Structure 1
Amino acid sequence: MSETDIQSDLAGDPRVTVFVAPADVPQLTDYLDRLGRPRVVTAGGVADAAAYCRQQAAPAILVVDISHEAHPLPALGELLQAAGPACRLVVLGERNDVNLYRSLLGEGVVDYLLKPVAFDQLAQVLQRADDDQPVQVPASGRTIALTGASGGAGTSTVAAGLALALARIGHAPQALVDFDRRNGDLPLLLGTGPTDGLRAALDAGDSDPRLLLRTLSRISDRIYLLAQQPDIEAVALDEGQALQLGAALCRLFGLSIWDLPAQRDSACLEVLRHAEVRVVLTDLTVQDARKVLRLLREIGDESAGQRLLLVANASRQGAQPAVPRAQFEEFVGHKIALALPWGGPALAGSLLKGPLDPDVSPAFRDALAGLADLLSGRQPAAAARSQGGVAGRLRSLFTRDATAVRRAA
């Protein structure tokens, strides 16, 4: 598949989509018709464009008017995250301001055109948008890293289910990384064929966005998977490779979810040390309590502003907690944020019919939705009952800048 095909896949609507002031709709419609461009021209602004992109696949080229935006740069940052990595953004406006122009280009905008827009200028910019690199979302993406205290903790199932839950509530396009290079199974869980994109991205040794886009497998309009075929002889990675990949994903996506194996090498530990949110899945056993305590000593606490969520996951049928929850929390020195119920045989059985389907296990599905709400700053009812004020403290989860991953890139 060519790079152009991949970009068309990521930006599913080939039409030029325009949101401008009502008075400008006839002129832009006429221009695009004269250029022979499939188009959608609508009266609206940045917020309308962002809502459009959240509801359906983003267009290949998006033209938006910022004339009436009091604070255009933050608004465009949100729009770029909603539109995803392959949507190329052209901005129209009335301010002839060099500093604004430079700031817009720094945000990833293809070009800024003063109104009234000349026909030839629009034609040239659209041609450049066709030929340019895909827009890179400003390097403000967040990273969520999941790992299990022990093998078999259900980390991959939770990672896949979490991605589906976030997509369901309208989250911006996200990257899902299966970093278990020896025994990863996210492709199976998500119903996609064999892929070796992760190996290709790591072997390339750089963060070229064109290459990274080619390595992604599109699961849906909101989920893009980076994985590789299991390789039992996979050698340990250099820590810098993982951090460089993480930084590149942060520039392309508003959110990256990493599924890390329980047998963690130094690269996995570095991802955990730099991720904005660390989710550790555990059973309430003496063995896992000791492993969690050791892991927390290695990756650090929340003092640097990174969030740490312990999630009790009943991944084994009929398993009763060997250690009371309060005692477990006291031993590891951290509260359990959420408890996930056992998914039951129906959850595993759904994989015989296709991708993972959390709907077959309503209790598990609802708990995953609660986790997604918690990570998105919402207050899920179940979480509020079980953890008191913890969810409230997480309301600012995605407000900090993603400087940690980029620091090492």
Structure 2
Amino acid sequence: MASYESASVPRISIAAFCETEDAAQVVEKAASDRRMSKAHVDVHHGTLAAAVELFQNAPTPNLLIIESLRDSATLLDELDQLADVCDAGTRVMVIGQINDVELYRALISRGISEYLLGPVGVHQLIATVSSFYTEPGTEPLGKTVALIGSKGGCGASTIAHNLSWVISKTLETDVALADCDLPFGTAGLDFNQDPLQGIWEAVSAPERLDQTFLDRLLAKCNDRLSFLAAPASLDKPYDFSESHFDQLVETMRTGTPMVVLDLPHTWNAWVRRVLATVDIIIVVAEPDLANLRNAKNLVDALVQLRPNDARPYLVLNKVNMPKRPEIKPDEFSKALDVQNLASVPFEPGLFGTASNNGQMIGEYDRKHAVGGLFEDIARSVTGRGDARARKASPLTSLIGKLKRKAE
């Protein structure tokens, strides 16, 4: 029997579509293995066509496992249809019955991560999935999103916490949230938890921080959302070097598909370093003149710091506050030359009650329109739009190139 070496699979979502009972049982046994304990695995008894139908109106997981008993032409045609509904970043692994090198080449050219000749064993399946995320040279799994307020009290932490919750619950994606405001952070309060350990333990000894240690420090909010709480105490100074948070961010990226960093409203070496290295930045501001000035300074500094990256996003918070002169959202975003992802209305009763209850807006009032705004923000930063507004995945883009060549 072949020997398969495999490391633990990170916190990813996996959906398997199996045409045979044997394949479904293999996936289910793999899902119960200790090395797959962090992954969320859904097993469907159905064909590739069923997967296409399901994901017409639902986000695709990090990994799709497809068993197909179809001939080569039908398989390739159905994969073309799957590409049209695949979200960016989704990997696809196919288990087939055709031992043909030409088919293998055609599948790889279409962006398929792996083609396995069935039947597959439990250890082979685990090792293949593990190799996607843990082999040397593999790109980090997680996308990093940093939120920073343009002015103290503008609600950046509230946006960060609700955004993390929506990504985990609505988009069904695993999220790790780091409350980086060590002396005054509110993540513990907002999620109604008081963990004994958190981000202080993670950054106080970066040389010993690995995935196992991080797992012990993360507090769970739900099945898909974990967070590193700030100590929120003033018994020690929190002076860090420029690279002090590098190991934390890299370790979080290795094990979780989405990493949300709730940064304090300050400007020092380590905050600047984090902002220089993350994938996406959201500047949160209120629609007044002081916020506009600060946001303009922030955006200008970040564009200079990240000349080859996309410009930061904007989220306007506490919009339409009674009796306050405000800058219109369109004018605010135009002055910064950035995209405004959402204008969150001033709703002190809604946010105050949810905060006092230790709940997110979607928990406190799932039908409130503000919850839809957080979902819009979540879909923008994750690239998980609806079926009519998908961002091109590697699978989609490669198939498109092949089609253009054929024409």
TM-score category, normalised to shorter length: 0.5 to 0.7
Structure 1 contact 282–310 (Cα < 8 Å) conserved: yes
Q: Distance in 1 between matches of 2:329 and 2:122?
A: 64
Partner of 1:368: 374
Matched, 1:309 2:313: yes
- Higher relative contact order by CA 8 Å / sep ≥ 6: 1 or 2? 2
Aligned counterpart in structure 1 of residue 231 of structure 2, from 229, 232, 243: 229
Structure 1 residue 340, shift from structure 2 partner: 1.2
Structure 2 contact 87–390 (Cα < 8 Å) conserved: no
Q: Which amino acid aligns with 2:300?
A: R
Structure 1 residue 227, shift from structure 2 partner: 2.4
Q: Which amino acid aligns with 2:374?
A: L
- With over 3 angstroms needed to count, the CA separation of the structure-2 counterparts of 1:329 and 1:79, relative to structure 1, is closer
Structure 1 contact 284–323 (Cα < 8 Å) conserved: yes
Aligned residue runs from structure 1 range 62-77, under 5 A: 65=67
Q: Which SS does the other structure have where 2:356 is aligned? A: coil
Q: Distance in 2 between matches of 1:157 and 1:187?
A: 12
Structure 1 residue 12, shift from structure 2 partner: 11
Partner of 2:176: 175
Partner of 1:220: 222
- With over 3 angstroms needed to count, the CA separation of the structure-2 counterparts of 1:133 and 1:321, relative to structure 1, is farther
- With over 3 angstroms needed to count, the CA separation of the structure-2 counterparts of 1:311 and 1:220, relative to structure 1, is same
Partner of 2:157: 156
Counting aligned pairs with the same residue, the percent is 19
Matched, 1:200 2:201: yes
Structure 2 contact 10–133 (Cα < 8 Å) conserved: no
Structure 1 residue 256, shift from structure 2 partner: 1.4
Q: Which runs of no fewer than 5 residues in structure 1 stay unpaired?
A: 1-6, 84-88, 381-391, 400-409
Q: Which runs of no fewer than 5 residues in structure 2 stay unpaired?
A: 1-7, 34-41, 395-407
Q: Distance in 1 between matches of 2:358 and 2:296?
A: 37
Structure 1 residue 323, shift from structure 2 partner: 4.5
Partner of 2:148: 147
Aligned residue runs from structure 1 range 318-329, under 5 A: 318=322, 320-323=324-327, 328-329=332-333
- With over 3 angstroms needed to count, the CA separation of the structure-2 counterparts of 1:151 and 1:33, relative to structure 1, is closer
Aligned residue runs from structure 1 range 4-403, under 5 A: 19-20=17-18, 22=19, 25-27=20-22, 42-44=45-47, 48=51, 65=67, 114-117=117-120, 122=121, 136=134, 138-202=139-203, 203-205=205-207, 208-232=210-234, 233-300=236-303, 303-314=307-318, 318=322, 320-323=324-327, 328-329=332-333, 332-334=336-338, 336-358=340-362, 359-360=364-365, 362-377=368-383
Q: Distance in 2 between matches of 1:244 and 1:33?
A: 34
Structure 1 contact 142–254 (Cα < 8 Å) conserved: yes
Structure 1 contact 278–306 (Cα < 8 Å) conserved: no
Say how many residue pairs are matched. 354
Partner of 2:399: none
Q: Distance in 1 between matches of 2:385 and 2:287?
A: 24
Q: Distance in 2 between matches of 1:149 and 1:369?
A: 22
Q: Which amino acid aligns with 1:280?
A: V
After superposition, the C-alpha distances for 1:49-100 in whole angstroms (9 at most, x for unaligned) are 9x79x999x9xxx98647877589x99xx899779xxxxx998556598xx9
- With over 3 angstroms needed to count, the CA separation of the structure-2 counterparts of 1:315 and 1:269, relative to structure 1, is farther
Q: Distance in 1 between matches of 2:88 and 2:336?
A: 40
Structure 2 contact 147–156 (Cα < 8 Å) conserved: yes
Structure 2 contact 245–270 (Cα < 8 Å) conserved: yes
